Chain A
Amino acid sequence: MSALPRRIIKETQRLMAEPVPGISAVPDESNARYFHVIVTGPEDSPFEGGLFKLELFLPEDYPMSAPKVRFITKIYHPNIDKLGRICLDILKDKWSPALQIRTVLLSIQALLSAPNPDDPLANDVAELWKINESEAIRNAKEWTRKYAMEN
């Protein structure tokens, strides 16, 4: 792999120096393009109190191509499927090279606060979210307790 672009170095430095509240992103020791991410569940959301692990990878074309992000911790959310893949426009066709790791992670945190069952990735979850929101929220809380609160 070629030398790490200045852009990635700058972003990494800033993530370390001024971390985003509720989000930690640490580059892997052996691969500076691979980040270990932990997002805390936003307040007043069914994910409150949970710590969600994610992985983030900057492809060769970054920042011309979007970073690849995936939840590792299981989560009950209409826009995140059971493999942890995320349905978020800025990770796909709405990606802009002007966006950064920081903004992507903030958007993911915002997605936890505002699930969008009309643009679902996990169909069964989205379905329940629409017909019986209180039950869906109960499930999300239970999953958060079960999978995102260990230790």
Chain B
Amino acid sequence: MDGCAEDSADSEGDYSEDDFDSYYHPGGDYIDTEDGQTSADSADPELFPVECLTIEQVENLLNEAVNAVCHSLNTSPSLAKLFLLIHSWDVQKVISGYKADVSSFLATSRVITAGCNCALAQPSLLHNHLAPAAADTVNEDSFVCPVCTCAAPGKSALSLKCQHVFCVDCWTAYVQVKISEGLSTDITCMAQNCDLLVHEEVALQLPISNYHKLQYQHFSFHNYVMSHPQLRYCVGPNCSLVFKAPEALAKRVVCRQCTSVFCFKCGNSYHAPTDCGTIKNWLTKCADDSETANYFSAHTKDCPNCNICIEKNGGCNHMQCYKCKHDFCWMCLGDWKGHGTEYYECSRYKENSETANESAKARAALRKYLHYYERWQNHAKSLKLEEKTLEKIKERINQKVMNGSGTWIDWQYLLDAAALLAKCRYTLQYTYPYAYYMNQESKNLFEYQQAQLEAEIENLSWKIERAETTDRGDLENQMYIAEKRRKTLLKDFFQT
């Protein structure tokens, strides 16, 4: 796994799964506790070979395809780019499509008008068919440009293959206006209802200003990247990196420059085990309904034992009342005793069968949504709070090192534990939209695994918050279990 494609929740950067595994299992051949097989990274459901490219590397990649087409079809780079843009940068498709039927290929590429089977379609003419029309094409004495209504004696006029002739001044003004509107490779002929494209060579041969030239190159490059199925811009604001993957899958990309974490396929925040469509529905729904939800979920709760008002100050859902020392679960307000050892089930939504009339149904629907939304929100909050825990851990490590109890390296495991906790809780957060939309079929298994994961995460969080009094071996064991549960859930339910 590529280091840059992995989490780096701590500021030190290069934390990756490989490091994690090799650090805890130096031999690399440890036995999987559950199925007795050797743990192989090839089975990792989140594995995704994504490359991080600079602008120059992207240019080289695109140019390779352009050169291949130019070479094979003996055409100009400008037209090759146009063909590739329209055919999703599939070199083979361009070459075979062109060779199969030149006229219809050029028509679908919007280089010639459909139904025009004239000699213009011959490849030998492709190179210069857009050069300014010479005097013999346009009778210069009688030609009046239909746009500026000026006679153009001595001025050059030109047309695309559609033969809609306009003077160069008008073309130039037109292309500059279109570039200012953000267009580049999609600029069409000036004539009404003519959709032939003014391709790169034509646009840049016109006497447009240097500013517009640069803008054109900028916009067209953007269009090329956007149309390439293997390339994605980083979603981070002002981040110019481009990512390349062999296939557009809904997998995790971590930007090494701006640390954005996003889904390669849809560009939203990484959302395993939920799929792209579901997360979009969920986020839209939350944007619409969350006001109601916020209204329902207050920021404080009363201790179920002594009724004193309690504010949640850490990520862990295992609460201990500071007054009466009662241990309870923040989610269900039940006694924690039943959570730690036995079956953890407050992540499970119980469908109520008494839905007699419409309003009861609506109430039930809202209750169902709130159930999932509350948990989704709660884990998001926990993630934030655990960031603070991480800060505290760093402070404590500094103190300890200063006081001579252990070296900095001795305490690294705490940072690793915090990073792992963040990763697990993140996945747990995204299991709730999945559960909200899933059908009954495999719901029991999913909710069982979700509950298992949740229990282990709360355990881990509890142990990290009390790291001083927790045995290191115990904590590391807990880390291993939590990550195992996370991976198992993803393996079973994350389909890309």
Interface residues of A (CB under 8 A from B): 5-7, 10, 61, 63-65, 90, 94, 96-99
Contacts and interface: CB of A to CB of B under 8 A. Distances in A.
Given A64-B177, A65-B177, A96 B191 contact: yes
B173 interface: yes
Contacts of B192: 90, 96, 98-99
A97 B148 CA distance: 9
Contacts of B178: 64
A6 B150 contact: yes
Number of contact residues on B: which range applies? 10 to 19
B194 to A, nearest CB: 8
B177 A7 contact: no
A5 B166 CA distance: 16
B49 interface: no
A123 B190 CA distance: 33
A94 B178 CA distance: 12
Contact of B148 (A7, A61, A96): A7
Contacts of B248: none
Contacts of A96: 190-194
B146 interface: yes
B462 interface: no
14 contacts: A5-B148, A6-B148, A61-B173, A64-B170, A64-B178, A94-B193, A96-B191, A96-B194, A97-B170, A97-B190, A98-B147, A98-B164, A98-B192, A99-B192
A96 B147 CA distance: 9
B149 A98 contact: no
Interface string B172-186: 011011100000000
Interface in B152-175: 164, 166, 170, 173-174
Contact of A64 (B150, B174, B194): B174
Contacts of A5: 148
Interface of B is mostly: loop
Interface string B231-250: 00000000000000000000
Contact of A98 (B150, B173, B177, B191): B191
A65 B173 CA distance: 10
Contacts of A7: 147-150
B356 to A, nearest CB: 32
A6 B191 contact: no
A108 B495 CA distance: 51
Contacts of B174: 64, 97
A64 B145 CA distance: 14
Given A7-B150, A64-B176, A98-B146, 4 more contacts: A6-B148, A63-B147, A64-B178, A96-B191
Nearest to A10: B149
Interface string B187-217: 0001111100000000000000000000000
A15 B381 CA distance: 66
Contacts of B177: 61, 64-65
B405 to A, nearest CB: 69
A76 to B, nearest CB: 30
A6 B177 CA distance: 19
Nearest to B147: A97
A90 B192 CA distance: 9
A63 B170 CA distance: 9
B124 to A, nearest CB: 31
Contacts of B193: 94, 96
A94 B192 CA distance: 8
A10 B177 CA distance: 22
Given A61-B177, A64-B174, A6 B149 contact: yes
A64 B167 CA distance: 13
B104 to A, nearest CB: 25
Contacts of B173: 61, 64
Contacts of A6: 148-150
A94 B190 CA distance: 10
Contacts of A99: 192
